[in-house]
Amino acid sequence: MKTIAITVKGKVQGVGFRFWVLRHAREIGVSGFVKNLYNGNVYIEACGTTNQLELLVSMCSKGPVNSRVESVQVETIEDAPHFHDFQIVQ
């Protein structure tokens, strides 16, 4: 398993982005969390197989209907904590 941090920039708050990520992350079977950042971005930590994570990143670059994703940054997290499910955190 691999863990990545995803930062999504653009119009991604106030459009249901976190709930959209939650639903899709659970559907593809990754664990981790999603949260809004104070600067208007959305931050995700996700753990899964390479294929699952690539799919999640691809989905995040599109986002839900009312969002406008400008960029998606991905970083690998070494020695990440183990997540049991996927959730929205504050």
Q: What is the pLDDT of residues 64-84, one digit of tens each?
A: 999 999 999 999 999 877 889
Strand blocks (E) in the chain? 2-11, 31-36, 42-48, 68-76, 86-88
Q: Which residues participate in catalysis according to the annotation?
A: 18, 36
DSSP for 29-54, written as a single string: T-EEEEEE-TTS-EEEEEEE-HHHHH
Domain edges within the chain? 2-88
CATH of 2-88, one of 3.40.30.10, 3.40.47.10, 3.30.70.3040, 3.30.70.100: 3.30.70.100
Q: Cβ distance 80 to 72 under 8 Å? A: no
Confidence (pTM): 0.95
Q: What is the pLDDT of residues 15-73, one digit of tens each?
A: 999 999 999 999 999 999 999 999 999 999 999 999 999 999 999 999 999 999 999 99
